Amino acid sequence: MALVTVSAIFLRWLPTHGLPILLLFAVSAGAAAGIYFTQRRRYSASSRGIARENVDADITAVLWTACAGVALGGLGIGVVLAG
């Protein structure tokens, strides 16, 4: 939900900064969609892990989420400095 909100706020930039904003919107909305569509699988994996008292650290999800944040920040700075 936070990523969807941020993607909607990015659209506020569209009139002033033009089409590059769509890239920011796509990254943010894509990350939100990725989280939404994989949450059932992650929930099931965590539930099974709790049942056997051994949860695997979901390192891929953590790295992807962090990369999305870094990409959004970097693209945002690029847009601000270019505009």
Partner 1 sequence: MTNSEQPGSANTPPSRGKIAERLLPGGEEPDPRFTLANERTFLAWIRTSLALLAGGIAIEAFTADLFLEPVRKGLAVVLLLLGMLLSAGAAVRWLRVERSMRNKAPLPLPLIVPLLAGAGALAAAVVLIFILWR
Residues of this chain that interact with partner 1 (CB under 8 A) are: 2-3, 5-6, 9-10, 12-13, 16, 46, 48-60, 62-63, 65-66, 68-70, 72-74, 76-77, 80-81
- Closest distance of CB 32 from partner 1, Å: 10
Question: Please, which residue, 16 or 37, has the CB nearer to partner 1?
Answer: 16
> Which of 12, 8, 31, 20 minimizes the C-alpha distance to 75?
20
- Closest distance of CB 22 from partner 1, Å: 14
CB contact at 8 A, 36 and 25: no
* Angle between helix 20-51 and helix 59-82 axes, rounded to 10 deg: 160
Question: Please, which residue, 16 or 40, has the CB nearer to partner 1?
Answer: 16
